Amino acid sequence: MLHLLPTSNMPDSYADDIEKNGIPFLIPPPITLSWSDLAYRVKEKNILDGVSGQLASGQLLAVMGPSGAGKSTFLDVLCKRVKAASGEILLNGSPDFDITRTVSFVEQHDALFGVLTVRETVSYAARLSLPRNTPNINAHIDATLRSLGLQDVANNRIGTPLQRGISGGQKRRVTIACSVIARPRVLVLDEPTSGLDSGSAQEVMASIKRLAQETNMVCIATIHQPNWEVFSLFDRLTLLAAGRVMYNGPASIFSLPRHIHLSFPDHVFAGDIDQYLTDIGYPSPQHTNPVDQAIAIVNTEFYDNENDITSSAHLDNIASAWITHQSRYNIIPDNNQYHTSDIILVKQVSESRDAMRKAIILTQRNFVNYVRNLLGFGIRMGMYVGMGLMLATIWIHLGTSTDKINDRLSVFFFSVAFLGFMSVAGIPAFLEERAVFVRERSNGLYGPGAYVLANTFAVVPFLFACTILFSVICYWAIGLHPGAKPFFRFTLYLFLGVMAAESQSILIAAIIPIFVAALALASFMNGFWMCVQGYFIRATSLPRFWYYWAHWIDFQTFSFQLIVRSDVKGLTFQCPTIDGSCLCPFTSSLVPTQCALTGDDIVKNLGYEGANDGLYVGVLIIIIVFYRMAMWVVLAIRKR
Ligand SMILES: Nc1ncnc2c1ncn2[C@@H]1O[C@H](COP(=O)(O)OP(=O)(O)OP(=O)(O)O)[C@@H](O)[C@H]1O
């Protein structure tokens, strides 16, 4: 169990929460994170070179630099998302710590379910990340919402294209709330203020600062052009250019703890970035934000060579200036006090063996999303209803004469092919879900196994509901094989085909998570399966090349043949008679006793006798399971 800090030095609200609601485990003791000589190379090119630093609990580090300076690479190396060429990362002086259980990473873009409320979003994150029997979980959620200033919008929805929700700054804070709910020791944020106006940017950074201090967290953020108010919230600044450190010291003198800038004499401690720029001969012009000046002098993209030195020589000079000055600027408070051995250094995360519990929580969240997401799922269901109505009114009362056999087959083809085709409409919702998965997985909440299970658990009832709705609307109106059993068989075989098509579409979207590309490829695949399934060209007439592989792995083949067999078997189709002669379109087992064809005659003529129905159902299930497992593999391999 983590021990508690004295709460006297904490802001009121959190200390109050602790007292009133009893959240004993949520304030872990302070830590120090340090890194030295981090380097990252790609094909012998130094992307990051010799980056060192240290940060204590409650502190915020700004990582700044021009575009391409190596800021994102630095975060990736620090979080061990890529392997450093060299260097060391220490937590409380020790390299032995589990990074995924220590760090939460907040990506640049908010990946949230638009139909959930703020509280629901954070609550699901809490249930997914905290151990099963966490006490007072609701009090913990409330405290987190309060810390991030979200209590007033707790019951508001995040927002969808159809329904306006919370503001951009509030969304950022919800994403951050989800990342800090398990009380990570280190919070890493990639551009937390990008796309926000200055007011929202300030709100977000002030919330992060407050949370860092309240929960003893170390925070590191890349940031572009903050205004002075935002910048003043940072304790330290690492300025990078071409992967090298140009400055690594106090950000603004105003953000320094009083004991630092008061207790060190001038000859020992020089000051902040503003002072440093003056010292090295690049003072900020009056009324200029020193941050802009710092970026400007290390930005060589538009370097004009005014002093007859190359841009890389210019950067070499600034990097050398830093090496000369660093001992006076890079003063770090003594954090040895934090190096205690009884500290538990991990997030309060649940174990990975909890996969089934996580899958159930994710399934619940998916259901809520399905029920509320009119755009993603309501419209989709409407499409199935519309398709049912269309078939019911166009193929109405087909009857059982032999001249209607083709019309009947076209109903089955159309149902299997186009209901399956409509699965491409599930791609946008999947991509929204995938973005949330990527964020949550990178923070260690759950793995691809739990996600695939939950996606399957949720999609099965949804697709079954869509299929049965379609069947109810059109089955009796068309006049297909009478009776409850044939109706349910039709629905089941159709559902299996639709489920296979859906699994294929989201597998494609998992491989290529770009909407337009996934849509195009999934549509192509559906078109391809239509061509080789044996309706347009009889399977026996298909070129052998296509017949032997494509036809027999095509889910439409099995779904279509199962439906045809189930429908026509047991029915009798009347042949026309002209001048007393019976004109059946193909050999009948009933002639001459009866001028008609049996369902078996039709099945035989089409070449659909094949294996038994159970085997075909089994093949369909295997195809579905194969697609789902392939999706699991793709999600396991593709981390972003
Ligand atoms: N895997 C890689 N292969 C090749 N080049 C890479 C790789 N990773 C990073 N780079 C290069 O390293 C440089 C630094 O990239 P990085 O994304 O870290 O910069 P950044 O400072 O975050 O830029 P921005 O602010 O524009 O996002 C860039 O020139 C980038 O093209």
Testing ligand 1's pocket by substitution, the residue of 38, 47, 639 carrying the most ligand atoms inside 8 A of its CB is 47
> Which range is least confidently modeled, 245-259, 315-329, 578-592?
245-259
Predicted pLDDT at 599: 95
Contact 248, 240 (CB under 8 A): no
Distance CA 467, CA 472 (A): 9
Atom of ligand 1 nearest to the CA of 47: 12
User: Distance from the CA of 70 to the center of ligand 1, in angstroms?
Assistant: 5
Q: Residue 119 above 50 pLDDT?
A: yes
Q: How confident is the model at residue 632 (pLDDT cuts 50, 70, 90)?
A: very high
User: Distance from the CA of 74 to the center of ligand 1, in angstroms?
Assistant: 10
User: Distance from the CA of 244 to the center of ligand 1, in angstroms?
Assistant: 13
Predicted pLDDT at 552: 94
Going by alpha carbons, the residue nearest to atom 25 of ligand 1 is: 67
Q: How confident is the model at residue 420 (pLDDT cuts 50, 70, 90)?
A: very high
User: Distance from the CA of 8 to the center of ligand 1, in angstroms?
Assistant: 43
The most confident of the ranges 99-108, 226-235, 483-492 is 483-492
Distance CA 557, CA 543 (A): 16
* Average pLDDT for 534-541: 90
Q: Exposed, middle or buried by CB within 10 Å (0-12, 13-18, 19+), for 341? A: exposed
Predicted pLDDT at 232: 86
* Average pLDDT for 193-198: 82
Check residues 490 and 357 and name the one with the higher pLDDT.
490
Share of the chain above pLDDT 90, in %: 51
Testing ligand 1's pocket by substitution, the residue of 41, 64, 71, 191 carrying the most ligand atoms inside 8 A of its CB is 71
Tell me the pLDDT tens digit for each residue of 289-305: 888 888 888 887 666 66
* Average pLDDT for 477-486: 96
Tell me the pLDDT tens digit for each residue of 29-75: 788 899 999 999 998 888 999 899 889 888 999 999 998 889 999 99
Share of the chain above pLDDT 70, in %: 88
User: Distance from the CA of 208 to the center of ligand 1, in angstroms?
Assistant: 26
User: What is the CB < 6 Å shell around ligand 1?
Assistant: 42, 47, 65, 67-73
Q: How confident is the model at residue 517 (pLDDT cuts 50, 70, 90)?
A: very high
Predicted pLDDT at 256: 56
What are the DSSP calls for 170-198, one per residue?
HHHHHHHHHHHTT--SEEEEESTTTT--H
Residue carrying the six token digits 């003791």: 29
Of residues 112, 46, 142, the one with CA closest to residue 432:
112
> Which range is least confidently modeled, 21-25, 507-511, 512-516?
21-25
Q: How confident is the model at residue 403 (pLDDT cuts 50, 70, 90)?
A: very high
* Average pLDDT for 215-228: 88
Predicted pLDDT at 169: 86
Q: How confident is the model at residue 321 (pLDDT cuts 50, 70, 90)?
A: confident
Q: Beta strand 236-241 with 581-582: parallel, antiparallel or unpaired? A: unpaired
Of residues 260, 278, 263, the one with CA closest to residue 330:
260
Going by alpha carbons, the residue nearest to atom 1 of ligand 1 is: 42
Residue carrying the six token digits 């200390």: 15
What's the CA angle centered on 111, arms 198 and 639, to 5 degrees?
120
Distance CA 208, CA 12 (A): 16
- Which residues of 196-315 form beta strands (DSSP E)? 218-222, 236-241, 244-250
In 3-state terms, what secondary structure has residue 60? strand
Of residues 171, 170, 98, the one with CA closest to residue 435:
171
Atom of ligand 1 nearest to the CA of 82: 1
Going by alpha carbons, the residue nearest to atom 18 of ligand 1 is: 70
Q: Residue 365 above 70 pLDDT?
A: yes
User: Distance from the CA of 69 to the center of ligand 1, in angstroms?
Assistant: 7
**524, β-bridge pairs:** none
In 3-state terms, what secondary structure has residue 275? helix
Q: How confident is the model at residue 424 (pLDDT cuts 50, 70, 90)?
A: very high
Q: How confident is the model at residue 394 (pLDDT cuts 50, 70, 90)?
A: very high
ipTM of the complex: 0.95
Tell me the pLDDT tens digit for each residue of 125-180: 999 988 887 778 888 899 889 888 899 999 999 998 888 899 988 998 999 999 88
Tell me the pLDDT tens digit for each residue of 330-344: 666 554 444 444 444
Predicted pLDDT at 112: 94
Predicted pLDDT at 295: 86
Q: How confident is the model at residue 345 (pLDDT cuts 50, 70, 90)?
A: very low
Distance CA 90, CA 101 (A): 14
Map out the domains of the chain with their CATH numbers.
Answer: 12-331 (3.40.50.300), 352-568+610-637 (no CATH)
Distance CA 285, CA 228 (A): 14
